[in-house]
């Protein structure tokens, strides 16, 4: 008989799926690394489990302890799966720009959720970064995950996501495109693929209001680049240690409107019911058209599931309110 000992045994080994209609004008083959097949419906299941297992091994996470993390929702879901199986309490700190569905799902999984304002500096005590750090110091036997700077984040993708993509494409991949938030996925996958073939191009998808693209191109952290944006799960107003700019060949920025519209288009034209960052990612691929030839194989990673955005990108009233639909 074939079965997993628990739900954590089903993480990884997600399929590659060809994108057809939206990429019809591109000369290359575009394949989606479809991470919603993970049990928590996102790529973050991989690194959440890795970070917990590494923390257990090092002794910083002790039996019966409390896990505390600032999250945009998906890492929280991955942590919730592992926390439930392993017997930990989980406290998630989330910003108020995240969808209501994400908050509801985290609570449904047994997590305690604190919601913080988005439009404050990271150093502000009200920010979700600062709140998570504070709670971890105040609560006995607590461990602060810190996915932004935790090396186990990128390690998970170096050891699982990268090798899967290499094997699934028989080593023929020429470009990897992915939205960048904490930096773990692009850095871990990018490092693995570059070691296999240094000619593989690694492209990050950024959003307007985030610092990544300009910093990569100029080395300048420009606070004037920072302003509130709607796209979830990608972009940052900080420079996480997990972002290895040396393995990234370039960034392309996608607007909130394009990300939202292409999220809908993926569902309606490709039957791919995905999250907001997938819309940004596929639009990023289209914007990079001039970099592709007929012999190229482009893998784009789709992070999470559309069920977390039903009240937002899949709600036409919300889309009109934001000016994304006429």
Spatial CB neighbours of 285, under 8 Å, sequence gap ≥ 6: 23, 26, 30, 177, 298, 300
Q: Do the Cβ atoms of 51 and 145 come closer than 8 Å?
A: yes
Q: Do the Cβ atoms of 191 and 160 come closer than 8 Å?
A: no
Q: Do the Cβ atoms of 282 and 261 come closer than 8 Å?
A: no
Give the position of tokens 């959720």: 113
Pairing of strands 112-116, 89-95: parallel
Integer Cα distance of 299 and 8 in angstroms:
25
100 is catalytic: no
Name residue 71's beta-bridge partners: none
Annotated catalytic residue within 33, 44, 102, 201: 44
Q: Catalytic site residues?
A: 44
């Amino acid at each position: 008989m074939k079965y997993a000992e628990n739900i954590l045994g089903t993480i990884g080994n997600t399929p590659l799926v060809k994108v057809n209609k939206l990429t019809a004008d591109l000369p290359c083959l575009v394949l989606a690394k479809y991470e919603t097949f993970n049990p928590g419906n996102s790529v973050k299941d991989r690194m959440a489990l890795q970070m917990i297992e590494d923390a257990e091994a090092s002794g910083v996470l002790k039996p019966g302890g409390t896990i505390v993390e600032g999250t945009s929702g998906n890492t929280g879901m991955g942590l919730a799966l592992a926390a439930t199986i392993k017997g930990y309490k989980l406290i998630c700190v989330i910003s108020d720009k995240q969808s209501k569905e994400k908050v509801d799902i985290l609570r449904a999984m047994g997590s305690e959720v604190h919601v913080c304002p988005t439009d404050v500096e990271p150093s502000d005590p009200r920010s979700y970064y600062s709140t998570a750090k504070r709670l971890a110091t105040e609560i006995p036997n607590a461990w602060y995950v810190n996915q932004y700077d935790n090396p186990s984040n990128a390690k998970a993708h170096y050891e699982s996501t990268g090798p899967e993509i290499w094997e699934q494409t028989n080593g023929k991949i020429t470009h990897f495109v992915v939205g960048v938030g904490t930096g773990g996925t692009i850095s871990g996958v990018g490092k693995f693929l570059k070691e296999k073939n240094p000619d593989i191009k690694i492209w990050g998808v950024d959003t307007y209001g985030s610092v990544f693209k300009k910093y990569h191109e100029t080395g300048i952290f420009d606070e004037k680049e920072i302003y509130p944006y709607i796209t979830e799960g990608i972009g940052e107003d900080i420079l996480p240690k997990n972002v290895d700019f040396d393995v990234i060949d370039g960034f392309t920025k996608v607007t909130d409107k394009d990300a939202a519209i292409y999220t809908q288009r993926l569902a309606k034209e490709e039957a791919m019911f995905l999250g907001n960052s997938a819309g940004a990612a596929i639009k990023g691929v289209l914007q990079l058209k001039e970099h592709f030839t007929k012999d190229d194989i482009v893998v784009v990673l789709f992070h999470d599931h559309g069920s977390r955005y039903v009240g937002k990108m899949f709600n036409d009233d919300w889309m009109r309110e934001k000016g994304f639909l006429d």
